[in-house]
Amino acid sequence: MSLNQIIKAVGFVVIACFGRVALADTIPYTDISKVNLGQSVYEQNCASCHGSKLEGQFNWQKRSADGYLPAPPHDETGHTWHHPDQMLFELTKYGLQKFAGADYKSNMPAYSGKLTDDEIWNVLAYIKSRWPDQIQRKHTEAFSK
């Protein structure tokens, strides 16, 4: 193994180990203090596009003339609850391009460097806490480990 390969291997191990810091077992939507903190962060960073009531933007499933989709709702009418917790976290932290490719058109910024991991999890807690009980249960059951 060359020195270059060793350095790359060590780098992957370090990234893998430290990347786990961002992992959570589940969205902490039953922790009222985290939900309240998340509400404040949501109002400051997300509500301007996704709506103060998580309703999203009008016609959110239709691309604009320049190829962008409006912000989707995060309430039960949207698709947020169709995704695993970790994916929601990573979409928020790293942006949609991580999953859809660098050329994917999106107005949503990546929040890495803007929000802490805890702030992102708290925003997700706030969002999930607003879903009807039945949707919360479906989401939890679908993505429990």
pLDDT at 112: 97
Structural domain includes residue 103: yes
Q: What is the pLDDT of residue 16?
A: 38
Cβ atoms within 10 Å, residue 10? 10
* CATH number of residue 49's parent domain: 1.10.760.10
For residue 114, count other CB atoms closer than 10 A to its CB: 11
Per the listing, tokens 């060590």 go with 10
Answer yes or no: is 105 within a domain. Answer: yes
Residue 112 lies in a domain: yes
Report pLDDT for 26: 84
Strand partners, 112: 115
What pLDDT, on a 0 to 100 scale, did the predictor assign at position 99? 87
Domain that holds residue 50: 26-143
In a domain, 115, yes or no: yes
The tally of domains found in the chain comes to 1
Cα–Cα distance measured from residue 50 to residue 55, given in angstroms and rounded to the nearest whole number: 6
- What is the chain's pLDDT, residue by residue, as a tens digit (145 residues)? 433 333 333 333 333 334 444 555 689 999 999 999 999 999 999 999 999 999 999 999 999 999 999 999 999 999 999 999 999 999 999 999 888 988 999 999 999 999 999 999 999 999 999 999 999 999 999 988 6
Three-state secondary structure call for residue 89: helix
